[in-house]
Structure 1
């Protein structure tokens, strides 16, 4: 796999400290270790990350351009020069929403306590409530000197795109532009579609098309937990609930996955949220469906809302190995 989560286990303090051009060279070496070359878009963004005067960096670009890999590699290269707090967007909002009522600032302080650098991955804002929380976090952090490294599929101006609410976040968009280096990670190719395989984690998973025969649960990798789509995605669960489940189980099976066009908007969004948290925690996922991934994700004729980040879902599912015909999954 072009950008396997080979660094998933990096600690908040690791390796020898590096600076400036040495960090750039280290990131290039990490790419060589993973047997791929940095894209021109990644190289351009790497130059932005190396800017010594930056208060932080906002990396944005289309899905699958290597933003998360680049951010994680940069953190690894920094080594002991920085104590890092890494949060996925779902984990970030979960932490804020679970804090004591009326003590948001204290919760923010707890989330970033002791950090020199906060890496917030997959930063996106569609909900006005989340946007107001994010704005409060940014306003709390700006005076502290804590550096920020954000990755997003959206330019700052595209955050909270609903025109009825966009103005609420505009002050923070201006601040992001003024305080952070905003760098696009460009490119014409979704790198996840290049394949390459993986021996563990999400990218080692499979998508089996067709009928499924029951088998002994002991055949499941790492004693995978199994759900039907209806059990997991068609019952009331928040993204935070899915994150809690993903933390408890390292291998997953999701069976009887329908076309999303045949489900309700809430089920579609839960499916997209599930893929997000499983990828971020690098959990193996084996799926079975009567349909191929592109057929499941085709929502052109869907009634009601569809997930705004479905392109990211499709990009991530392209990491799975697809096979047709009959397969074997746990009963």
Structure 2
């Protein structure tokens, strides 16, 4: 590992901040290869004359389970690949921007608006680093292949992370056949590297983190906010810029996620459970996020039997998909719904909530099958 990313990685290992990891080392080799390609294009005569040709390696796609260091590796590449201008951005935020640009270009009715969007982006950036590529929006799926083909043709290079391999992106999505060219583009033009080593750094972050806070209030809110930034490695000073998400539910509607970053979602009880939701909503949440933070869980009265029933459905979905739940509530699980229709059945939910606080549960992988 003689490139700039490799040297920075080896320093972290020597300092004891990282453990030796063959999967991470393979990713570092791919990132240094991308750096060499970018360097040769900048310095060689042919590179100067044909800087925007779409030959060679176009990107690196890092995928694997949560907590395996994908974002850390991408950050190393962003810091040490000496190309300017470059940008690190959450994938969902980038796509929201792309759609806004596209709407503006369509007003002009001059040429292909998607090509002109790609022209603008290529003028602004030579290296794009995307955290958490996930595709669950049909509108994104419809434009991704052409948008990225145009970007790569214009010399933009990409490093991205994802929890899924390319062939599982937009799995079972509406009109998925129109999305397949994007998968083929990644498989053809990117180094696809699985990062799934033995060390779960996310568990290190969860170590010592209290997952159930009583009662609701400023102290609990602050503790959960600290946990969110610890789990996502997001700078606290940028808290106002944490992206939101519109989560597709069954291809028919979307669910607003107030904060969504690196597989961690934040909801209020009032919006997620207090409003009319169904099993499909909670299944979409459980499949999409490995960690869910819920604030404002009240003690539910007899008159809140509908909320209690929805809360049962939510917890069932999170439990079955081994989602980590962090929460602020006005009572311990056993006191959340003391009386009312379904309170006896609610005891199973209490049992599950208690199990979800255990070290054994927290150590399990997201979506892990279990007996």
TM-score, length-normalised on structure 2? Answer: 0.55
Q: Are the aligned partners of 1:242 and 1:273 in contact in 2 as well (CA < 8 Å)?
A: no
Whether 2:23 is the aligned partner of 1:41: answer: yes
Match of 1:176 among 155, 161, 186: 186
Q: Mean Cα displacement is larger for which, 82-91 or 146-155? A: 82-91
Counterpart of 1:7 in structure 2 is none
- The 1:31/1:111 distance shift into structure 2, 3 A limit, reads farther
Counterpart of 1:153 in structure 2 is 163
Q: Are the aligned partners of 1:208 and 1:324 in contact in 2 as well (CA < 8 Å)?
A: no
Higher helix share: 2
Return the offset for 1:69: 1.4
Counterpart of 1:242 in structure 2 is 258
TM-score, length-normalised on structure 1? Answer: 0.60
Question: Which ranges in structure 1 are unaligned for 5 or more consecutive residues?
Answer: 1-18, 199-203, 226-232, 247-251, 280-284, 303-309
Counterpart of 2:10 in structure 1 is 28
Distance in 1, matches of 2:172 and 2:180, equals: 12
Q: SS of the counterpart of 1:99?
A: helix
Return the offset for 1:61: 1.5
The size of the alignment, in residue pairs, is 263
Return the offset for 1:176: 1.6
Return the offset for 1:81: 3.2
Whether 2:286 is the aligned partner of 1:268: answer: no
Deviation string 1:5-57 (CA, Å, 9 cap, x unpaired) is: xxxxxxxxxxxxxx953321212324666833253221221122222343211
Deviation string 1:283-317 (CA, Å, 9 cap, x unpaired) is: xx7846589xxx96541899xxxxxxx67xx3xx4
Distance in 1, matches of 2:207 and 2:16, equals: 12
Counterpart of 1:92 in structure 2 is 94
Counterpart of 1:5 in structure 2 is none
Distance in 1, matches of 2:319 and 2:206, equals: 33
Q: SS of the counterpart of 2:124?
A: coil
Return the offset for 1:270: 8.4
Q: Are the aligned partners of 2:87 and 2:129 in contact in 1 as well (CA < 8 Å)?
A: yes
Distance in 2, matches of 1:183 and 1:321, equals: 34
Instruction: State the structure with bigger RCO (CA 8 A, min sep 6), 1 or 2.
Output: 1
- The 1:83/1:256 distance shift into structure 2, 3 A limit, reads same
- The 1:300/1:66 distance shift into structure 2, 3 A limit, reads closer
Counterpart of 1:15 in structure 2 is none
Q: SS of the counterpart of 2:17?
A: coil
